[in-house]
């Protein structure tokens, strides 16, 4: 199993729009395309309270590549993005890291 840590920095005042999009659409579409949702967090204390941090899991790198390709090409996702951007862009910056669990990690 590999994990992907993603941090989305939103434009000011747009975090709830992103949370709504994830809550209503994105999680279901991730699962549809083989992306396992591990957890989602917002920041209380830290450099920005305009961020969504989340963790995803995949069987291996090949499944990750295929899942993201299928997700991005899903017509339903295209409509979700278009609809969610009617009042302007939501995400200012995206960071991501691929993580491999250590031999002592509770998550494998």
Strand arrangement of the beta sheet that strand 91-99 belongs to: 36-42, 51-58, 2-10, 91-99
In a domain, residue 22? The reply is yes
In a domain, residue 105? The reply is no
Tally the residues of the chain.
108
Identify the CATH number of the domain in which residue 63 sits.
Answer: 3.30.70.100
Q: What's the pLDDT score for residue 66?
A: 98
Q: What's the pLDDT score for residue 46?
A: 84
Tell me the two tokens of residue 54: 């989340």
Q: Which domain holds residue 60?
A: 2-99
11 and 108 Cβ atoms separated by less than 8 Å: no
In a domain, residue 76? The reply is yes
In a domain, residue 106? The reply is no
pLDDT digit string (tens) for 45-102?
A: 888 889 999 999 999 999 999 999 999 999 999 999 999 999 999 999 999 999 988 9
pLDDT digit string (tens) for 16-38?
A: 999 999 999 999 999 999 999 99
Give the pTM.
Answer: 0.91
Q: What's the pLDDT score for residue 48?
A: 82
Examine the pLDDT at 8 and tell me if it is beyond 90. yes
Q: Within 10 Å of residue 21's Cβ, how many Cβ atoms?
A: 19
Counting the structural domains of the chain, the total is 1
56 and 30 Cβ atoms separated by less than 8 Å: yes
Handedness of CA 105, 46, 20, 66 (dihedral sign): negative
Q: 3-class SS at 1?
A: coil
């Amino acid at each position: 199993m590999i994990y992907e840590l993603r941090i989305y920095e939103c434009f000011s005042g747009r975090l709830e729009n992103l949370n709504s999009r994830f809550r209503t659409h994105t999680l279901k579409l991730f699962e549809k395309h083989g992306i396992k949702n591990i957890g989602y967090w917002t920041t209380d204390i830290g450099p920005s309270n305009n961020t969504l941090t989340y963790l995803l899991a995949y069987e291996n790198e090949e499944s990750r590549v295929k899942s993201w390709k299928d997700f991005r090409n899903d017509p339903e996702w295209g409509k979700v993005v278009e609809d969610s951007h009617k009042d302007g862009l939501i995400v200012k910056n995206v960071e991501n890291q691929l993580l491999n669990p250590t031999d002592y990690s509770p998550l494998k």
